[in-house]
A = this chain, B = another copy of it.
Amino acid sequence: MAEDCTNCWLRDTDAYEDLSREELRFMKRFKVGELVVDAGTPIILEGTRSPQLYTVLRGMGLRTKLLGNGNRQVVNFVFPGDFVGLQSAIMGDMGHAVEASTEMTLCVFDRTQIWTLFKSHPERAYDLTWLAASEEHFLGEALTSVGQRTALQATAWALVKIFERGKTIGMVKNGVMDLPYRQQDLADALGLSLVHTNKTLARLRDRELAEWREGRLRIGNLDALADVAEMERVEPKKRPML
């Protein structure tokens, strides 16, 4: 029942780099199956050595970190095409947990093959490093948002980021994108309280910059929203996908 990497729907979006026939063959060998999980299911636990690596095929999730006092930080949102479990594969254990926000289907890879990947497929190894560096890049931006932007700016920044990511993988239709998270998730991502996040979203709605209701995000003028966020727009590049 597992899909064939060759026909992976994600490769048809122009968000990802193309792979040669040989490379696809290797990925097929690397892939050991598919995993489908319900919304709310933990996929990887923080601090553990995950037995598996995944690429998200469908659905959305969260990377989260729990603090001793019960506070939660959402480290990132997880979208189709994202690679999950890299830290664990390389360094031994995960710095954050990963959980499903919707039903998700994940492409499962064999972690023990990581080393043969480095030895015999340097292009794929390079892609892995690219993904790690890219995540580092993103987290630097997120840190800057949480540390230096006001609630309004940070919220606008997050919505722009999410919307842009959604666009690259074809999740935006007519300026609307499915965004099946709770306001609490965004609040935990930005280090804001739920109440204030709610009020900030209301402000963006009133200004007709962004409207997020019932799991759907509508943004009319992305540039205007980015201006509020005081962010420099960068055309999203093609990214590798494993």
Contacts and interface: CB of A to CB of B under 8 A. Distances in A.
Given A73-B148, A91-B137, A122 B118 contact: yes
A143 B86 contact: no
Contact of A143 (B92, B122, B139, B148): B139
A6 to B, nearest CB: 25
A73 B128 contact: no
A3 interface: no
A113 interface: no
Contacts of A69: 230
A25 B59 CA distance: 47
A117 to B, nearest CB: 9
Given A140-B65, A143-B142, A133 B132 contact: yes
A174 interface: no
A119 interface: yes
Contacts of A142: 139, 143
A31 interface: no
Contact of A95 (B72, B95, B132, B136): B136
A193 to B, nearest CB: 11
Interface of A is mostly: helix
Nearest to A142: B143
A147 B190 contact: yes
Range class of the A interface residue count = 35 or more
Contacts of A13: none
Interface in A143-169: 143-144, 146-149
Contacts of A87: 133, 136-137
B148 A191 contact: yes
A130 interface: yes
Interface in A95-130: 95-96, 115, 118-119, 122-123, 125-126, 128-130
B67 A148 contact: yes
Given A65-B140, A72-B148, A91-B134, 18 more contacts: A67-B148, A71-B149, A73-B143, A75-B140, A75-B143, A87-B136, A87-B137, A90-B129, A91-B130, A95-B140, A95-B141, A125-B129, A132-B133, A132-B136, A143-B143, A143-B146, A146-B146, A146-B191
